[in-house]
Structures are given as C-alpha cells and as structure tokens.
Chains A and B, each alone.
Chain A
Amino acid sequence: MTADGFVAALLADAGDEDWPSRVPHRLDTVLAALPRPARAGVHTAVAALDTYAVLRTGRRLAALDPDERESVLGSLAARPRLVPLLDILKVPVMLAAGTERMPSAPVSARAPEDPPLDCTPAQEWPTRSTADVVVVGSGAGGAVAARTFALAGLSVVLLEEGEHHSTASFGRRAPLDRFTELYRDGGATVAVGNPPLLLPVGRAVGGTTVVNSGTCYRTPDHVLARWSKDYGFGIAEALGPRLDEIERTLRVATQPLDVLGNNGRLALAGADRLGWRAGPLRRNAPGCKGSCQCVVGCPTGAKQSVQLSVLPDACAVGARIVTGARVRRILLDHDVPGAPRAAGVQARRPDGSELEILAPLVVTAAGALQTPPLLRRSGLGGHPRLGRNLSVHPATSVAGRFAEPVTAWQGVLQSVGVEELHTRGVLIEATASPPGMGSFVLPGLGRELRRELEGTDHLATLGAMIADRPSGRVQGRERTLVRYDLDPGDGHRLMAAVRAMGRLLFAAGAEEVLTGVPSAPRARSLAELDALLTSVNARNLHLSAFHPTGTAAAGADAQRAPTDPEGRLRGVRGVLVADGSVLPSCPEVNPQLSIMAAALAIAEACLDREGGPAAR
C-alpha cells in the first residue's frame, strides 16, 4: 500500500467505517494498470505530500490523526495553484473509493451465453500462417471489415491486442477490475496539451465498442455532405444504406423509458421545461436492464457491441480471431513495380515471441490513436498528414444536486440526448456512471470530499461533447503520444455547454449545480452559475475526450489526405484503413455507426475492385 496516508487524508478516514481502509489496496491495483510514467507521477506526488506533512508536522500523513490530516490538506488547498494537481490525484482515489464504498453486487441473473467466436490466443497461433486478408484490430471498423471479407469467401484473420471477455466474465468481476483490463493504459490515456485531456480507449475483442455507452447516432446529413463535397470522401454519399445495415446488425432502437433511470428522466424533465429538443437516445442495447455498467462491459449482454453482433457473423463464415497479438508492423514487398505491396503482418505475442501472417491485403483498424504509429513502424509513415487532423470530442460534465435521491447508477448509463445546441456543435447527453468512474470530479478535499461522496446518490450528471476543430496529432512509433491543443472556439463552446447543462439541471429542479472546477465548485442558481463562470475558462474544466478520429483521413487531395477516397492508404498497395482514423473530420456525434458504415463501404469497394475471391 503506497498511499494509505494520502488516501486516509483525502477521504477523511476517521476509522468509523470499514471501507476507507480498503481503498489504498484497491488503489494499488488501479495504479498497477497505469502506464509507467503515470504511475511514477502518482507515486512522486504522494511522496511529495508525505514530505510536506513531515516538514509541517514532523510525521507522515499515515501517522497523523484525522484533524491533523485535515489541517495539512487545508493548508495545501489554500494554494490555488496546487488544487488542480490535487484534483488529478483525486481521480484514481475516487475510482478505488467508489468501488470499495459501494461494492456492486454480482449480477444475479444468469448471463446469457454469447454467440460463439473463433478466438485463439496468440500463444497457440502458429508462428507462420497465411490468409487472404489480415485485419488489425477487432473494434467497430475491424469487425465490420472482417465480416464483409469473410462473407465474400475470403479467409480472414483478425488480430487483436486485447483479450476476449465474455458477458459471463463481466458479471463475475467488479467493475473496477474490468475497467483496468478493458482499457488501454488502464484508462489513463492522456492527450498532452493545454489543457491535458483524458482520452480513454478500449482494448479487447470488440475494441471500444465493448466499453462505449451504446449510443448510436447516424452520421448527420450535413457531416456526410461536408465529407463528400469538401474532402472528396466519395463513400460518404452512399453511406445511408450502409448505416441502415449497421443499425440492423446492432439492433439499434430508441431506448425505452422503463429502465431509463432518474438521471435520464431528470434530463428529460429539464429539457421539457425549457422547451429544448431532447429524447431518449437510440442505442444498440435491446433489452437493456439498466445496469449502468456499459463502460466496463455490459454484464447482461444487452449491448450489442461488435463481439456479440458482428464478429460472430464473421466467425460463422470462417474468420478467425487471434487475441493477445500486438501487430508490430505490416510486411512489405518492395521489389515490385510501382509502390510497395503489403505482404502480411508481423505481430508480437505477450511472451515477446513473434508471429507472422502472410496476406495480400492488410486492413488496419487499430483505432485513430494506434493506426498512425503502426503505419510508421511499417515504414508507411511518409505522408505529412498522417497522425495529424486528430479530432476528439472534448467533453466535460456537470452534476446537479437534487433534494430527492437520484441514484444515477441505477438505469441506463447514457440515456438521454439533448440536441438543442447541436447545431452549434454541442451535444448534451445525460450520462451516469458506476461510482467513481465518471469524468465528473467531486469538489473538495478531506471532510468536504467525504460529505460529497456520501451524497453522490443525490447527484444527477450531464455530459456535453463538442464537435471540435481537428487540432490534435498522434506522434510516436512504438508508443503513441497524443498532442491536443484545444481550439479557442471550442473552449468557448465548452463554457457554453457548461452553462447550458447548469440551466438544464436547474430547470429539472436541482438545488445546486457542481461544475467540477476547483476554484468555482458550486452554484445554487443560474445567476450564481453565470457569475461563477465569468472567472472560469475551458482550461480550468476537467476535460475528457472521446471518439478520436481523422488521423489517416480519407480524401481526394493526395497532398492532404493519407488515404484515398476508397480507404486505400496512399503510397502502398494492399493496405486499407477502416477505422475512425479514416473519417475526414469530426463526425459531431458518437461515431460508432459512422465508423462501421465507413468500414463496410471501404471493404465493399475493395471487393468490387478486386472482384472478390475469384480474382485472387
């Protein structure tokens, strides 16, 4: 236990309850899943705090009594520059505390049996093998591409760095254990910049679709028109029927109200009073039981993430999935006339050994953050725009305190969409989360934080995401380094979103709105909120980001787009890009359907060109 004193101070542990003493141990397991720099950062900060306590009191935090610890924290909180740092340290502690304070009961209902997948661990996959198509990544794009090629009669091997997790396994384990397993870097992927953004991405068979909220927006028509006209992404014109097909596959439907939960109902009520456009979201979760655990894998199997919907179809026609295989590089044949030709991939097993699969067609669907480094490792990073043009949906959340218990974690995790401001690039979605896992950070330290923690069942949470200007880039070859500098215009929109969410919560009857900003934590009226927000800018907000796209954008202009309008990577033959990175710009909505429809169109275009298996 590396931070027992710090945890005790932060949670004002007076020994009257049992659960705070378990938090340091849980924190250690959370930290173990983080990348080494993040882990080192936390350890250094905790050590610095302990040193401060020794200098101030002569003893370490763990040896102090609750009042002394409160005094130490109080003296730290008095320094405004330190508060944001303490807020960052709070995040993993809240994650651990949320789990220990309210351990979720194992799902009582028997988990349904998943449709069968043909998964083979990389250790058991032969060192040398061949296929017609290798797909790198089993997320939204990779799954659809694999299914399309497999249905055309080609032999498809799908390589996935993560492991396969069944619905039953989700039901057996605590949300936090799943959280650290299902996310890359334990969920601590950060976009470096001002302000830094937390950018969680999934890593499992099914990719981020295993851990997304299940919200399924069709690509807006104006976005499709822009992609087609401004970027020359011709596929966008015919995306409509493909979106239909994907919606059928994922069984997308409007979320029924019965399991919506109080969080969503309050958002609907607020919007209704304001006369704003809002409604239950369209989701790919028929029969959702409102477990509110979408972000750590649906324990009831209701959410039709691709490992339950698309991949079983692919496996039924012969596609094979190799798990635990990180693709090192795409193999190229250089001694052919013209551009080099893809010959397969080389992947690394967890034990460090390597395997190779030869295939004339390689589909990269490793996600917008992993595809550019993979291409660079393969010697295909020559296009100056590769890795640039990164769009994320910068997002922030606001909580409202209500007199009546809300118990936001009982119901649908992301339940209601408020589209009133969507034309201005702001999409508000009522988003609850399992305790501690939301992007909303409770205000205060010590006893204040403990009080907030005790009162979380009265909080309703809204999130807003911004259709941003693509202002990030993905660097690195071996490890991904994401840089993202928030565009000033996007910052203004974020502030407008915070205000709109506050307004919505007050309209729904909130007594108090928590902004999550340490320097301006709470407002009891809209006027007070407006006054509060005058002293705050977007850099003070706790920002997360989701839905990275655009890092290998498709387009007609060979100078600006690394990928051609049919998804073929330029400068090489036999490499398709079929994930979020191929989208030319921000899709402005949750991009699951857009990515899947684009991958479907790219795969179909390839089959049309090559004439299917007969031409091979």
Chain B
Amino acid sequence: MRGTAFTETMLGTIRLDAKTRERRIRLDLHAEADGILRPHRTTPARLTGRVRIAGFADDPRAEGELEVSPLARRRIRYQLAFTADGRRLTLDGWKSVTARRPVESMTVLPFTLYEGDARVGEGVLRFPLATGLAPFLLSFRFPRRESSAEHFPPRWNGEPGRTEVWYTTLTDPASGTGVWLHHEVTAPADGSEPFAHGWVAAFPREGAVRHARFGPVPWTRPADGFAGDNVTVVPGELTGNAGDFHWKLTEHPQGEPLFTFPRWSWRRPLLPAAQMLPAARATYEGEFSYGEQALTLRGAPGASARIYGHGNAHRWTWLHAELGGGDVLEIVAAVSTRPGLRRLPPLVFLRLRRRGRTWPRRAERTALGWLGMGRFRAVFGLPKWTVTGRTAFRRIRVEVDQPAERTLTLEYRDPDGARAVCRNSESADARIVLERWWGRWRPEATWLLDGTAHAEAGER
C-alpha cells in the first residue's frame, strides 16, 4: 500500500471583513495521503504547512485536510486551521474543476476565512503555474504505508534449515544502560524439531555486562510473534523472564519500516538471509530488571528488527545508530557463507533515514554499486570497524568502536549445526560523518554517539 505526498505553494489576496484593504496571502503546504492519488477517485489527505498573511499572520504549523477529487466530485477542497494574532482561524475553500476552463479551475482557489462559525474574510489563492508547476510535480512521492505490526508474525513455513529472529535493542536514557533482547527460532537442517531460544542482556554504563539465556524449548508456532519459555514478543509488547532478568515493555513504533536488505529479499527469501526493521525507530516504556537493578523505561529509544534466512553469515557487522531528530542509521555488512561468495569482500547494506527520506534510495546500491564499482566498503575488526561509501554527490564514513568491556560475546548454533559467535555491544561508540559534494566535499552532518550505538560483529 502506497501513499501520496506532495508540496504545493499558492499565492493570492485576502480581504478581512473588518478591514477593506486587501492583503497578500501565501500558503506553503505539504499534503500526505494514505492512498495513491487517483484523479478519478476522491483522495483525502492531511495538510500541514505555513500560512502567511501580510501584516496579519505567519503560522508555520498550520494543519488541515485536503480532498482531491478533480473528476469524481470536480472539486479540490482545502480546509486549513492556523493561528493569527492569537486567533484560531480556519481557511475553507475549493477549486471547482470544469472542463470548460481546465487551467483556471484547477489553479484558482476561492476561499472563505472563518473564526469558529463566523465569517471573517474572503479571498482568492492562485497556483503560480510558471514558477510553481515544476516544483509541484517534482515534489510528488508515493511512499509505502505499512504498519510495523504486519512484520511481527513468524515467517517460518516449516522448511528445515531456517532461522528466524526477533531482536530488540534499546538504550535507557536515564541510566545509559543498553538492553538487548534476542528471540530466535531455529529449525535444524537435519529436520529435527524446531526450537525457540534467546537471551537478554544489559549493558550498564558502570559495571559488567550481564546476560541470561532462555530456552531452548519446542517451538509452539504462535500466530503473532515469538513465544517460548515465558518469553513473548507480539506487536507493541515484549515480556518475559530469564534467570534474574524480568521485563515487561511496550513498544511504540516511530517510523515506517526500514528494509536494510532489498525489500524483495524480505518478501521472497532468495538471499541466504535478510534483515529488516518493522519500524525504523521505536520508543519503549515499562520495567526491566536484573539482579538488584531495576530500570523504569520512559521513552527509551531503540528498535526491533527481524531476521529470516538460512543462518548467520560467514562474518558480519551490524550497527543501529539513533541519530536524534528522528534520524537513524542502520548498517549490515556481511560475507556470505556460500563457497565462492565467501571470498568476496563484505557486502554492505547501509540505510540512512534522514528527514523522512532514506539514502541511498535503493539498498542494492551500497552492496553492489554499479557492477561492483562504487560499492560501499567495510573494514572488519574489533574493537573498531568502519564502513565508508559514496554516491554521486554524498559520501559517508562510519567508525564504530566496541570497547571490550562493553561487549558481550555469545555462542550459538546455526540451523546447519555450525557454531556462530557474536560480539555485541548495546553501548558502543560511533562517529558518523556525512558529506555532500558541491564543488568540493563539504560537511553535511556529523554525529558522535557516545555509548548509545548498538553494534555487533560476528563470525562462524
């Protein structure tokens, strides 16, 4: 399911009833619809934007509704609420589309201004075709509209030799403690019964990393997430206990799903494995305790992720970095276990979601480049590993530091019985430098994460 988003600027005049002088008015609007905009249907959309009326109002947080129905109802209606001079006003108007005057009727928006039910003004806005058409058309986006919940039900369909993971990492903003919850189903390649297992770990600022394992227990095939050995994951909720760990968390997704690997590889499991985030970011509330420590989480940032495939890579690194302001960086770099592919350099899947846009646009770009040219590169190592890469006009450098004292090493087995080792830190450091080329490389953004990066390096 895709939505529609676009921006539109309109200019015009307004006459407030109390005053006879006409004032200039400008609307800079961003419209978002949950569905694809189809001209022969009616598409409702949410409006946000800025309303400026000369000498009267400048509200950058105007909100409202848009009804786009140029053919079915021959009407494009704008209803926008904004504040002017401390008064809450509503602009209500519509373009009345007619085949007799197609251009005029699609660009002229007569409107009335209300304060409550009382009419306080009237005016006309015009879409400036000469200067506004190109930005308007280029602004059209059709983003997917997915709910994070639909990615939580188990993918495993009974085939032997598969593994499926629900893992959640978060950082308690109060104490700085990193938390890692790993839930896994393993269907051994030898056809024996699948089992559920996992672990929970805490990465406090001070003191040693603690962890506890749960399972293995037989997989009971729940419908909506993970369940086993008193540990459950369902959309929006994580509960369980293992050893002296107890947790009961609620998860609030904060963004669209983020596919670290190409989306198709999640839908059709053609790659050895694929990872994705049902929501690029999430916040967590609830209780998390271990030993003597009890954390009360309030708006703790983090994310849940999903993995499905044949097993772990030959070598891999992973980073989830909360960059603030809704931005997030997700990296998986891996060397395949397959003979032949094992000799290739690591494939890097890097996704930077910034201001609602994901860079690079396609996940394949970072892994493959153009037939290998310009692919992103990873240099494995511990405690430091790096990823670098560039597209036409932007480049990134990511340096991750997983200090040994804040890193937890765990062993487990893949479906084929091979031993895998992961070295994980939910309180890693990271330095991310983003640059943009404009005559020369100019810094665009730099992020320093001090103990809040979630990272892992592993091998088998």
Contacts and interface: CB of A to CB of B under 8 A. Distances in A.
B402 interface: no
Interface residues of B, number: 18
Contacts of B72: 333-335
Contacts of B122: 126-127
A335 B92 contact: no
Q: Is the interface of B mostly helix, strand, loop or mixed?
A: strand
Contacts of A334: 72-73
Interface in B72-118: 72-75, 92-94, 96, 110-112
A335 B93 contact: no
Nearest to B72: A335
Contact of A335 (B42, B110, B124): B42
B69 interface: yes
Contacts, number: 40
B298 interface: no
Q: Is the interface of A mostly helix, strand, loop or mixed?
A: strand
A129 B73 contact: no
Interface in A337-351: 343, 346
Given A128-B110, A128-B112, A335-B73, A346 B119 contact: no
A38 to B, nearest CB: 30
Contact of A333 (B40, B73, B92, B96): B73
Interface string B213-224: 000000000000
Contacts of B111: 128
Q: How large is the interface on A (under 10, 10 to 19, 20 to 34, 35 or more residues)?
A: 10 to 19
Contacts of A358: 94
Interface string B284-323: 0000000000000000000000000000000000000000
A356 B42 contact: no
Nearest to B38: A335
Contact of B73 (A128, A343, A354): A343
A270 B279 CA distance: 95
A130 interface: yes
B41 interface: yes
A153 to B, nearest CB: 13
Contacts of A130: 92
A331 B119 CA distance: 23
B93 A128 contact: yes
Residue in A126, A331, A332, A358 with the greatest tally of chain B CB atoms within 10 Å: A126
Contacts of A331: 73-75
B114 to A, nearest CB: 9
A354 B75 CA distance: 14
Given A126-B112, A126-B122, A127-B110, A335 B96 contact: no
A332 B96 CA distance: 12
B69 A335 contact: yes
Contacts of B69: 333, 335
Residue in A127, A128, A129, A335 with the greatest tally of chain B CB atoms within 10 Å: A128
A346 B112 contact: no
Contacts of B73: 331-335, 343
Contacts of B124: 127
A130 B110 CA distance: 13
Contacts of A356: 94, 96
Nearest to A129: B112
Nearest to B41: A335
A333 B94 CA distance: 14
Interface in A78-108: none
A126 B119 contact: yes
Nearest to A341: B73
Contact of A346 (B41, B42, B96): B96
A129 B112 CA distance: 7
B426 to A, nearest CB: 51
Contacts of B96: 346, 354, 356
Contacts of B74: 331
Nearest to B79: A130
A358 B69 CA distance: 14
Nearest to B110: A127
Contacts of A128: 92-94, 110-112
Residue in B41, B110, B119, B124 with the greatest tally of chain A CB atoms within 10 Å: B110
B122 to A, nearest CB: 5
A358 B67 CA distance: 13
A354 B40 CA distance: 24
Contacts of B119: 126, 129
Interface of A: 126-130, 331-335, 343, 346, 354, 356, 358
25 contacts: A126-B110, A126-B112, A126-B122, A127-B110, A127-B124, A128-B93, A128-B94, A128-B110, A128-B112, A130-B92, A331-B73, A331-B75, A333-B69, A333-B73, A334-B73, A335-B40, A335-B41, A335-B42, A335-B73, A343-B73, A343-B75, A346-B96, A354-B96, A356-B94, A356-B96
Closest 5 CB pairs of A and B: A335-B72, A127-B110, A126-B112, A128-B93, A126-B122
Given A128-B94, A331-B75, A335-B73, 12 more contacts: A127-B112, A127-B124, A128-B93, A128-B112, A129-B119, A130-B92, A331-B73, A335-B69, A343-B73, A343-B75, A354-B96, A356-B94
Interface of B: 40-42, 69, 72-75, 92-94, 96, 110-112, 119, 122, 124
